[in-house]
Amino acid sequence: MKFGTKAIHAGLEHDPSTGAVMTPIYQTSTYAQASPGDHKGYEYSRTQNPTRAALERNLAALENGKFGLAFGSGLAAIDSVIKLLEPGDEVVATNDLYGGTYRIFIKVFEPLGIHFRFVDMTDLDEVRKAITERTKLIWAETPTNPTLKIIDISSLAVLATEAGCLLGVDNTFATPYLQQPLKLGADIVMHSVTKYLGGHSDVVMGALVVNDEALAEKLYFLQNSCGAVCGPMDAFLVLRGIKTLHLRMEAHCINAMQIANFLREHPAVDQIYWPGFEDHANHEVAVEQMKDFGGMVSFSLKGDRLEDAMKVCSGTEIFTLAESLGGVESLIGHPASMTHAAIPAEERRKTGVVDSLIRLSVGVEDIDDLLEDLEQALNQVQS
Ligand SMILES: Cc1ncc(COP(=O)(O)O)c(C=O)c1O
C-alpha cells in the first residue's frame, strides 16, 4: 500500500461483531473470560485494548515497522525507552532537544545513574567523540526543535551499529509522511502523537515503533508494567486524525514554505530557520532523507530584544500564542520562555534559542490570512 492508503486502512478491519466501518471505542477496562485464562485475546485494558491495538498496528504500518506501542504522552514513550537502560549506561543525545525531553533525561534519569551527553549531531565527529563503551543509546531529534537543524539519520545508524548501541529517533516534527527513520537504519521511532499524528490539538499521546521482536517484547513489558497507556477514546481520535495525515502534511509544507519566503524578506527578521532554503546548513541532508520540509518555521528578530518577541507573539490574531504544534490551526510560540524554559539560559543560547526566537507551527488555514496576520504583528515591532 502507498502512504495515503495506509493512513486510511492499515491495521484496521471492519468491526467483526457489527461490521462498523470505523474502529469502535472499546471503553472497557476488562473482558469476560469463559473459564480462567479462556478469553478472546483481551484480559485487562492496561495490557491490551482493541481500539489501542488498531492504532498501534496502524502506527507500525505508517513507520514501516512491525510493532507499534501507544502511550499516554510522548514523554511516557521516552520514559519507556530510557527504562531499557541500566545505571552506569550512557546516552548520546541531540543538544537541541525538546525541553521536556531534556528535563526527563537530566532531572529524572540522571539521578538514577544514567548519564547523558548532549552534542551537536549535525557534526558526526562530535557524536563519534561522545560515544564510549558504556553508550547504549543514541537519541536524535530531527528536524530539531526549535532551530530546525537536520541530522543525518543514516550516518547515525552507522555509528550506532559500530558502537553496538541502539539508535532512537524522535520523529514528531517530520511525521512518517515526510521521513521514515526505521528505513534509514534507526532501531526505535518515537512520536509525540499529540502533534501532527493527532493533528487537531485535542489529544495528548505518545508512540514507539520498532522492528526487532526482542526489543518490542521489552517495550511491551515496560508499557504494561509501568502503565502509562492511552485510553480508547484518545486512540479513536488519533485513528481519525491519521486518516488525513498525508493531506494535512502537504498543506502544512506548502504554507510553511510561503511563510519562510515572506519572513526572509521582512526587515524586522534576523535569522530564519527553515530547512527548505538552499543555504540552510543541512539542506542537502533534508533533501536526501525527507519528502518535504515540514510545517515548522522559526525566526529571530533584529536586535534580539525580548520585548519585541513578546510584542509579536501577543500581536497575532490568527496564530494563537500557545505551547504545542502540529494541529490544523497555526500557533506561535516563544521557546525561551515556553517550550524550552526547562533548559538553562546558557545552554539554550548556545543552540540558537536566543531571547527573540519565535517558533511558528504553520497550520492549514488560507495562506493570505496567515501572511497578513504575521505582517501586522511584525509591523508593531518596527513602529
Ligand atoms: C519533539 C517533541 N518530542 C517530545 C515531546 C513530548 O511529547 P508530549 O507532550 O506528548 O509528552 C514534544 C512535545 O512538545 C515534542 O515537541
Note if 170 is an active site residue.
yes
Q: Which stretches within 290-350 are classed as H helix?
A: 306-315, 345-350
Q: Which residues pair with 138 in a beta bridge?
A: 92, 167
pTM listed for this prediction? 0.96
Q: Which atom of ligand 1 is nearest to the CA of 339?
A: 14
List strand residue ranges (DSSP E) for 112-228, in order: 115-119, 135-141, 166-170, 188-192, 206-210
Note if 57 is an active site residue.
no
Q: How far apart are CA 219 and CA 108, in angstroms?
A: 19
The residue count for the chain? 383
Assess contact for 237 and 201: CB atoms under 8 A. Answer: no
| 328 Cβ contact list (under 8 Å, min separation 6) | 199, 200, 201, 248, 363, 364, 365
Beta-strand relationship, 90-94 and 358-361: unpaired
Task: Label residues 211-247 b or e (16+ Cβ within 10 Å = b).
Answer: bbeebbebbbebbeeeebbbbbebbbbbbebbbbbbe
Assess contact for 178 and 292: CB atoms under 8 A. Answer: yes
Q: How far apart are CA 219 and CA 217, in angstroms?
A: 5
**Ligand 1 centroid distance, CA of 350 (Å):** 21
For residue 342, give the C-alpha cell.
526547562
Per-residue pLDDT of the chain (383 residues; tens, 9 = 90+): 999 999 999 999 999 899 999 999 999 999 999 999 999 999 999 999 999 999 999 999 999 999 999 999 999 999 999 999 999 999 999 998 888 999 999 999 999 999 999 999 999 999 999 999 999 999 999 999 899 999 999 999 999 999 999 999 999 999 999 999 999 999 999 999 999 999 999 999 999 999 999 999 999 999 999 999 999 999 999 999 999 999 999 999 999 999 999 999 999 999 999 999 999 999 999 999 999 999 999 999 999 999 999 999 999 999 999 999 999 999 999 998 887 887 788 878 888 899 999 999 999 999 999 999 999 999 998 65
Q: Which of 161, 220, 212 is nearest to 188 (CA)?
A: 212
Note if 98 is an active site residue.
yes
Assess contact for 77 and 207: CB atoms under 8 A. Answer: yes
Which pLDDT value is given to residue 383?
Answer: 52
Q: Treating both helix axes as pointing N-terminal to C-terminal, what angle do 367-382 and 245-265 enclose, rounded to 10 degrees?
A: 30
Q: How far apart are CA 223 and CA 344, in angstroms?
A: 31
List strand residue ranges (DSSP E) for 200-244, in order: 206-210
Q: Treating both helix axes as pointing N-terminal to C-terminal, what angle do 50-62 and 232-242 enclose, rounded to 10 degrees?
A: 30
Ligand 1 site residues (CB inside 6 A) read 73-75, 98, 100-101, 141, 145, 170, 172-173, 192, 194, 204, 206
- Catalytic position from the list 96, 152, 170, 234: 170
List strand residue ranges (DSSP E) for the chain, in order: 67-71, 90-94, 115-119, 135-141, 166-170, 188-192, 206-210, 269-273, 296-301, 320-321, 331-333, 358-361
Q: Which atom of ligand 1 is nearest to the CA of 141?
A: 1
Q: Would you give the distance in Å from CA 102 to the centre of its chain?
A: 14
Beta-strand relationship, 358-361 and 296-301: antiparallel
Torsion angle (degrees, nearest 10) of CA 267, 269, 270, 274? -130
Measured CA to CA in angstroms, residue 136 lies from 87, 153, 162, 233 at distances of 11, 17, 12, 36
Q: How far apart are CA 143 and CA 276, in angstroms?
A: 11
**Ligand 1 centroid distance, CA of 208 (Å):** 13
Residue nearest atom 10 in ligand 1 by C-alpha distance = 74
Residue nearest atom 11 in ligand 1 by C-alpha distance = 74
**Cell 514507539 sits at which residue?**
208
Q: How far apart are CA 252 and CA 365, in angstroms?
A: 9
Which pLDDT value is given to residue 88?
Answer: 98
